[in-house]
Structure formats: C-alpha cells, structure tokens
Amino acid sequence: MLFNSIDFAFFFPLVFFLYWAVAKKLTLRNALILIASYVFYGMWDWRFLFLIIISSGVDYFVGKQLAATERKSKRIWLLMTSLTVNLGFLLYFKYANFFIESFVDSFRLFGSEIEASTLHIILPVGISFYTFQTLSYTIDIFRRKIKPTHDALSFFAFVAFFPQLVAGPIERASHLLPQFHKTYKFNYTQVKSGLLLMAFGLFKKMVIADRAAIYVNEVYGNAGDYDGVAYSIATVLFAFQIYCDFSGYSDIAIGAARTMGFSLMKNFNSPYFAISLTEFWHRWHISLSTWFRDYVYIPLGGSKQGNLRTYSNLFIVFVISGLWHGAAWTFVIWGALHGAGLIIEKLLKDPRLDFMSKLGIRTPTFSNNLFFGSITFIFVCLAWIFFRASSFENALAMLAGIFNNFKFSSLFSEATYNIGFTPAVFRALVIMIVLLLLAEIYHSKRSLFRRLNEQGLIMRWSFYFIIVFVLIIFGVYSDEGAQEFIYFQF
C-alpha cells in the first residue's frame, strides 16, 4: 500500500478513527496497530507476512533468553541465532541472484564458462529496514544496553509498525518500543502537526520527486540520445528526486505516527546544505547512518585504533552500505566512492598534514562554506549517477557525456527542457525545488509549524488550501507516471 494511493486515503482515516474512538485501552490499541500493520504490508504480498512474523518471534524469544542467562557461550549462541535467521532471510531474498551472477562473471574473467541459472525470487518490500530494526533489539540486549520486553503484542507491533515498516526511519527499540507501553491522550496540536507533516511529505513526493522522475527516467533510459547538458540536468534532478522521494516518505511516516501519539526519529536534515561529506552523512538517512556507526563501524574498531584502521573501517562501512542499498555492483561503487571521498576529506582536515592552511583556509567564511558546499553537492550528484544507472556501462556513458559532450549552447535550447514534459512544466518544477530549499533554510532558523500556528485563522486555512491546491494541480498521479517510493526496492 502506497502512502500516495487511494487505498491509503481510506485506510489511514479508518485506523485513525478506530485508534482514538474505539481502542481506548493499551492492549486493544496495540492489537489494532498490529492488525493494521499486517493489512498494510499484506497489500503487497500476504505471503511475506510470514517473514516478519518469524523474525519477530525469533527475536522476541532470543531477547528473553539473553536476559535469562549469564553464560557467555549461550549468549553468543542466542545472538548468532538471531543474526542467522534475520540476515539469512535478507541474504537469500535480496542477494542470492547477485552472488550467483558475480560467481559466474568471476569465471568469465579467466576465460571459463560455467552454467548457473538465477533464482526466481521476489524481493519482499522493506526487508532491509525491518531486518535492521529487529536486529538492533537483540544486539542491544546482548550488549546489556536495554532489557527485553515481556509483552509480545507490543514487540510484534513495534517491529511491524505500519508508518515506518517498509522504508524507515530505522528505529531503535530503546526509543520506539517503550512508546508501545504507554496510553496516549488525544492532542489536537500534535495531530495537526502530524497531518501537516504528512501533507509536506506528499508535496515532496508527488509534486517534486515524481515530476522530476519523468525527466530523469527518459534521459537515464536513453543514455546515448542526449548531450552532457541533459545528463547533468537529469543527474541534478535525480538528486532532488531521491531526496524528496525518501525524505517525503519519512515525513509522512513521522507525521502519521505523530497523529497517534508516537515519536519517530528525524531521518533527514537538509542534506544538500552540507559543506562536507561528513556533514552530508550526518544529515542524510540519519537512522541508517547511525545504525552502521553503532553496529558496524564501532565494532570494527571505529576511530580508536589509528588512522589507517579508521580509514579502512570507513571504507568497509560504506561499501557495505552501498550493497545494503541494492544487489548490484553499481551500488557497491556508489558506496565505495563515498567511502573514498570521506577518507580524502579526513586527510585534508588532518592537522598534522596542514592541508587546509596550505590552501589558505583557516577559518570558516561564507565564501569558504559556499565553495565546499558546492564541491560536496557536485560530488554527491556524480556519485548518484552510479546509484541511478541501470548498469556500470550506463553510468560510464552518462559520465562520458557530461565531461566530453557538454554543449553550452544546449543550456539555451528549449529542446533541453522539453524532455518528458514541456519547458513550462520544467520551470514550475525548478520553482518548486527553490521554494523547498527556501522553506528548509527558514525552518533551520525557526519552526515553520510554530510560525504557522502564530498566524490568524484565515492565514492558516489559506495555507492549508494552498497545499491541497498544489497537490491537486501539480501532483503526479498514476496516469502521468506516478512512481513507487524509490527505497521500497531496498
């Protein structure tokens, strides 16, 4: 079930009404959330509900057993059980064909051919997200950071919570699970805030992301038909497409949870205003970045064992992160590029090497921030090419076009902006992106929601009608090529 679908337009108000008007007691509310979550997920393919149920059951049992024993060998065995089940599902459904194809290709490099057919496997939606969420529960119990819950209903509801089930934010049990042990009272201000955040997320998704996708899909789908200007524009538009698509999903998820009294973690913080790659990853997909930091980077040694180990740990984490995003070498390259970029950035900032002083950069200034912000954005966009391209060859063709076939005259050609839609629609899309960036700048200084609440009744309702109007007039719907959320494929 998509957030931007007619199904959800009926589903969510019904769940909202039952939650507040009928399910007054905690047990009944958690049961309603669990049933609603399974219905929400089962709308894709009911068979994959068994994976969530098995994963939840195994980790609930393992969590209780970990707390009940002090014997180290048994605790390790229990943790390995959780890791084997959860990662086993993930590896089979997401990576089995990737490993088979890579195995066959490795023999071709040495001039040998082997026969091996890929498997007919359907990727369960959101498996990467809920697998990481439930794994963090058992790992944190193993580390004695949290205690297990003895309420099976609340735990199963925590794992399957429908707002963030299929694309995050990837919540920690220490933050979200205790919220299923509380009974919330209806709060009009909180509900209104959640609904506005959902509307803002739909604006990002339907008005910007899906509109940009029309241009991006055409250019990336026909890499040999356009020049470097079109490739550059498509790449920049993809940067905003994936940002608005994923942060839009997160906004809707956080807003929907908020209307029911739950608080989910912030997943994005204006990432394209970052002035370094390090800052970019502090702002982009925060729930995943912190998950890899806590459960991969730090266990590998983090930054506590010398520079060489720090750099290798960084690189390993980002290669794994790339593979997490998709079972293809293009995603691995994307992750490796970010890992290498972060290493170079750390070397440049190393006070012992004094590169920054040699470049004449000692204190942050507006011009310095603008320069490094631009460099960061360009690097991120170029790396996105490997993320978006259908193949390594397609990515190289895009890069070759940008650097070898960039015709400045095309910048002033109407044909460049007449790809997938009219130049007038292109200009409207650019205006929407600029408005989004201005809103993020303002929000960084003062909450837009608080500012809106300070306005009079007429001003507030005028704003609400404008949002609805923009969604109706400029939003992309199924007959125009509305897209699934990009991160559903991960």
Q: Which residues are catalytic?
A: 325
Coil, helix or strand at residue 318 = helix
* Structure token pair of residue 279: 């800052």
* Structure token pair of residue 126: 């959101």
Q: How far is CA 462 from CA 198, 465, 469, 482, in A?
A: 17, 5, 10, 27
- From the list 490, 470, 410, 474, the residue with the least C-alpha distance to 199 is 470
Three-state secondary structure readout of 246-263: HHHHHHHHHHHHHHCCCC
* Structure token pair of residue 160: 């399957």
Report the chain's C-alpha Rg in angstroms: 24
Host H or E run for residue 404: helix 392-404
Which value, to the nearest 10 degrees, does the dihedral of the CA atoms of residues 377, 379, 384, 387 take? -150
- From the list 258, 302, 264, 266, the residue with the least C-alpha distance to 283 is 266
d(CA 147, CA 2): 34
Question: CB burial class (10 A; 0-12, 13-18, 19+) of residue 435?
Answer: middle
DSSP, res 118: P
DSSP, res 359: T
Length of the chain: 490
Q: What is the DSSP string of 284-314?
A: SSHHHHHHHIIIIIHHHTTTSS-HHHHHHHH
Which value, to the nearest 10 degrees, does the dihedral of the CA atoms of residues 206, 211, 212, 218 take? 130
Q: Give me the half-sphere count of Cα atoms (radius 13 Å) on the Cβ side of residue 111.
A: 0
Buried b (16+ CB within 10 A) or exposed e, 445-483: eeeeeeeeeeeeeeeeeeeeeeeeebbeebbbeeeeebb
